[in-house]
Chains A and B, each alone.
Chain A
Amino acid sequence: MSSARYEMVVGLEVHVQLKTRTKAFCGCSADFGAAPNVNTCPVCLALPGALPVLNEHAVELATRAALGLGCTVNPISVFARKNYFYPDLPKGYQISQFDQPLATGGSITIGATEKGADIRIGITRVHMEEDAGKSIHDRYPGATAIDLNRSGVPLIEIVSEPDIRSAAGAHAYLRTLKQILQYLDVSDVSMEEGSLRVDANISVRPPGQVKLGTKTEVKNMNSFSAVERALESEFARQCSLLDSGAEVEQQTLLWDGAREVVRPGRTKEGSQDYRYFPEPDLRPLLLDAKWIERARHELPELPDARRKRLALDFGLAVTEVEQLTASPAIAEYFEAVARASGDGKSAYNWVMGEVSAALRASTGGVDAFRVRPADLAQLLNLVRDGTISHTAAKRVFALMAATGKPAAQVAADEGLLQVGDEAMIAGWVDEVLVEHPDEAARYLSGEKKLQGVLVGFVMRKSKGRADPKRVNQLLASRAG
């Protein structure tokens, strides 16, 4: 295969919508899903005479993101105009940052090599900019419909170094980046809702060659796995071009997910000239060094640190903490359960088992889940002290999730409290021995391995309430 003779070199540009109430440069709502052009005003419609004023919270979130990605936040950054015509770009330019971005020089770790060394991907820069509106081409014949609700919504663009060497690596980078941004709570990072978008720059070169090959830019990918497939596809295309003696042409390509191919985009590279220049309607963004330091200080715990801490605090394995920290909400839920119950292992089992299954089956997230960490911890405590059996606990949990009632109450209401009463258990044991005369005879005549089967019958008869320890003791004494 030709591709073995080439190395893939990828850098990603990720646009992330910041979680603000209002737009970057005006007071319009930044909410997703309103009727067309309802969230617009003179500023984001670019009416003659309107001027931008920067949203303070957008600066805070962008700074937090940049710091969380290990970047240096610049005390002076400058907004610039990126000029191009498009009907969903009302001003005819996008306010962005160009040669003096908000932040530069970060990196993130996306995994480890076989030898255990960190795989780090450099972050070239993080800059602030505004979003364009939305063009809808398939609604009316021969016409494009423009909705400017999204026009002016604050974004950051996160540009990686060309440090990624495989499609899987790109996927890992995006997964890690998304996780960090979730922990930082700066964005909803949803590709479906468009709050995270990815463009890829890809080139190929023979292994060992330092010089980068001619790159193409691939756009229009709507999921992380689409990014992976698009990169594989474009890698193969570039390799076969070089193998056939042809050259890679610098261009923008669009991923066609339905047909699983890349195809040329709108324009030839040379005809696009954005004519960047400093935005004269905004003065430079000045950030006080102390303010930046405070923002750094207030950063929440990031996934890496949390994994290390959870593993240490609760004696969990690497794979276990990785599962738990995939989403910050799950990790926080787990930690609350583990701390309240004092049993990290059980908390892990429950959170990754019953809780995850219940969440998958529901539409809401962790925040809306009716079994709060304290309730689950109580359930775990009831199991541990023998008040309810493990079997009963699952039923109790399901009812808690459905009703929102506390564990003890559900168990009592449903009669699932574990029965330790000797007489009652003895009654169930007697009934089981009568109902299963065959097994009973074999057991009583010394076939010890049937004890487990009989315990199972007793548990079923008691609807899980019988304390299995007592059942075992009783059966053993009968056989004795």
Chain B
Amino acid sequence: MSLDNYSQLPAAEIVAGVRAGQLSPTAVVQASFDRAREIGAGSDNLNIVLAADADASLAECRRMMEHRDSAADLGLLAGVPVVLKDNIASLGLPTTCGSKILEGYVSPFEATVVTRLRAHGALVVAKTNMDEFAMGSSTENSAYGPTRNPHDVRCVPGGSSGGSAAAVAAGITPIALGSETGGSVRQPAAFCGVVGVKPTYGRVSRYGLVAFASSLDQVGVIGRTVGDAALGLEVIAGFDRMDSTSSDADVPIYRMSALGVPAPEARNPDTEAMRIGRSAVPLPPPAHSKTLDGIVIGKPREYFPESLDASVRDLCERSLDRFRAMGATIRDVSLARSPLAIPVYYIIAPAEASSNLARFDGVRYGLRADSPSGLKGMYEETRSRGFGPEVTRRVLLGTYVLSAGYYDAYYRKAQAVRSLIADDFRSVFASGVSAIFTPTTPTPAFPIGAISDPYEMYLNDIFTVTANLAGVPAISVPIGRVRRLPVGGQIITGHFDEYTMFRVAYALEGALGADAHQ
């Protein structure tokens, strides 16, 4: 087995090669670092990587191979290089959240998702660039400079997980972790032509994910293929006693969804062997006229407004046609309160952020800026020097909407409307719709520096933010290109029904084939 085409190798193939002894993890990790250098992932070029340590990663490979007794001990991601968004706490590499206030900060503990990745044999090769504290939709808000889109270096990669999406698009790793609050995995995945999953709220532990807006945040997975994203999610999903909001619902083998079987029986001896990696999940058959038999796909009119970019609309229609060709029924539905999502989101998220970011005060860790005017001066200097303009804006906005006299009009109102938005999703799924299909973003990637008005930037999240508000899972898959730039289609399902979401995503990926990238 060869690493010549490393940048195109799916994670599952790397795992198979490592387990069979045909690939050495050190060679795979070396290939990842080589690819990063070749593509120009550093700060002088695409600016994808904020921190990496090749020697440490290679040493970890060797330790992993020394401590295994059998191939089965290597886990579901044996030898797979991964990158982490820089707001996911990891030992050994700094966790800066793209902010000056955490410059050089190395977490003394690791996020649960990272522990799980490592336990399954994944190898962390880098921390990736992001909008500061995940506030942004373009990765231009990083204190360490913008990341560039590998498909067109003049354009943004989307954000806030822009570095992670670009790393996967550039072939540095097949899988990356990002985080979502309002679309921060799906939107950059769409802009970079890769797959991005935002799981159900509570599906994945947030322990070690630096909080932006706690009731919306969720770690997400970016993969080059639906299969890699499914594999990554299987590894990181599940209850964590360190996160009170994580769910103890069973985690199915998402990769089985491609076979058209109903959600697998968790304790079935055959699937158990697949779950722990002893036996491989069979490859899905090619898409055919019965692949989506019995599936009803909802097409919400609010997500296809008159103003939608015509080429984006055409690509969505093409995808809907493919769904029909695979036996699915397309049904027009309404999510009437979704157009209110941006105002709701930009009240709730900044409110929670204003509180979550209070801990960055220069007392215990991170930046401290001295001031002649005592403690209060130290606070103000530290925070105004440490936070960039967008973070400052949102912290102030959040402080304002929570402050005395405004709480009811803004925060309480927004939470009530949030309930209505979630109700819309519940009733659509209760009416027999299996999955909702929408464009991931209104437009493809835009040029760096093109959007300066904050609210115009916020509108980039218009189709993604509702899934965060409602807590439902959603995935963005590539559905074609407009002016050579990737476009993503979004599949949303009900709470904890990632299985159906993956089934539809696998089918679409299979049906589009090479068209997904044309």
Which A residues are closer than 8 A to B by beta carbons? 42, 45-54, 81, 83, 85, 87, 90-93, 144, 146, 148, 273, 275-277, 280-283
Contact = CB atoms under 8 A, between A and B. Distances in A.
Interface stretch (B38-46, B105-113, B262-270, B419-427): B105-113
Nearest to A83: B355
A170 to B, nearest CB: 30
A53 B364 contact: no
B111 A53 contact: no
Nearest to B217: A280
Given A48-B89, A51-B244, A275-B402, A92 B355 contact: yes
A89 to B, nearest CB: 9
A53 B108 contact: no
Contacts of B245: 51, 280-283
B455 interface: no
Given A51-B206, A53-B242, A83-B358, A146 B363 contact: yes
Nearest to A79: B244
Nearest to A135: B375
A276 B399 CA distance: 11
A46 B364 contact: yes
Interface stretch (B55-63, B319-327, B403-411): B403-411
B107 A47 contact: yes
Contacts of A48: 87, 89, 95, 97, 102, 105, 107, 210-211, 359-360, 365
Contact of B358 (A49, A85, A148): A85
A305 B88 CA distance: 56
B243 interface: yes
B229 interface: no
A49 B102 contact: no
13 contacts: A47-B107, A48-B97, A48-B359, A49-B89, A49-B109, A49-B111, A50-B109, A87-B361, A90-B364, A91-B359, A273-B403, A276-B402, A283-B245
B244 A50 contact: no
Contacts of A91: 358-359
Given A48-B102, A48-B210, A275 B109 contact: no
B463 interface: no
B31 interface: no
A148 B208 CA distance: 21
B379 interface: yes
Nearest to A143: B375
A285 B468 CA distance: 23
A55 to B, nearest CB: 12
Contact of B375 (A46, A93, A144): A144
Contacts of A277: 351-352, 355, 402, 407, 411
Q: Is the interface of B mostly helix, strand, loop or mixed?
A: loop
- Residue among B102, B213, B242 with the highest chain A CB neighbour number at 10 A: B242
Contact of B365 (A47, A148, A275): A47
B290 interface: no
B214 interface: yes
Interface residues of B, number: 45
B387 interface: no
Given A45-B364, A47-B107, A87-B361, A273 B210 contact: no
Contacts of A42: 108-109
Contacts, number: 106
Contacts of B108: 42, 47
B405 to A, nearest CB: 9
Contacts of B518: none
Nearest to A274: B404
Contacts of B214: 280-281
Nearest to A42: B109
A275 B111 contact: no
Given A277-B351, A280-B215, A49 B361 contact: no
Contacts of A282: 244-245
Given A83-B402, A275-B402, A281-B245, 18 more contacts: A47-B109, A47-B364, A48-B95, A48-B102, A48-B365, A49-B87, A51-B245, A83-B355, A90-B363, A92-B355, A92-B359, A144-B375, A277-B355, A277-B411, A280-B214, A281-B211, A281-B244, A282-B244
Contacts of B355: 81, 83, 92-93, 275, 277
Nearest to A26: B242
A188 to B, nearest CB: 28
3 A-B pairs with the lowest CB-CB distances in the bound complex, closest first: A92-B358, A280-B214, A275-B402
Contacts of B111: 49
A80 to B, nearest CB: 10
Interface in B359-418: 359-361, 363-365, 375, 379, 399, 402-404, 407, 411
B351 A85 contact: no
Contact of A93 (B95, B242, B358, B411): B358
Interface string B329-365: 0000000000000000000000110110111110111
Given A49-B210, A85-B361, A280-B352, A54 B375 contact: no
B484 interface: no
Contacts of A87: 361, 363, 375
A85 to B, nearest CB: 6
Contacts of A51: 206-207, 242-245
Nearest to B202: A283
B14 interface: no
B207 A85 contact: no
Interface in B217-270: 241-245
A146 B244 CA distance: 28
A30 B407 CA distance: 35
A282 B206 CA distance: 12
Nearest to B210: A48
A81 B407 CA distance: 14
B209 interface: yes
B379 to A, nearest CB: 6
A148 B365 CA distance: 14
A85 B379 contact: yes
Nearest to B96: A48
Interface in B70-115: 87-89, 95, 97, 102, 105, 107-109, 111
Contacts of A52: 244
A231 B242 CA distance: 45
Contacts of A49: 87-89, 95, 107, 109, 111, 206-211
Nearest to A53: B244
A340 to B, nearest CB: 48
Nearest to B246: A51
Nearest to A273: B404
A276 B403 CA distance: 8
A50 B134 CA distance: 17
A19 B352 CA distance: 32
B426 to A, nearest CB: 19
Nearest to B95: A48
Interface string B47-58: 000000000000
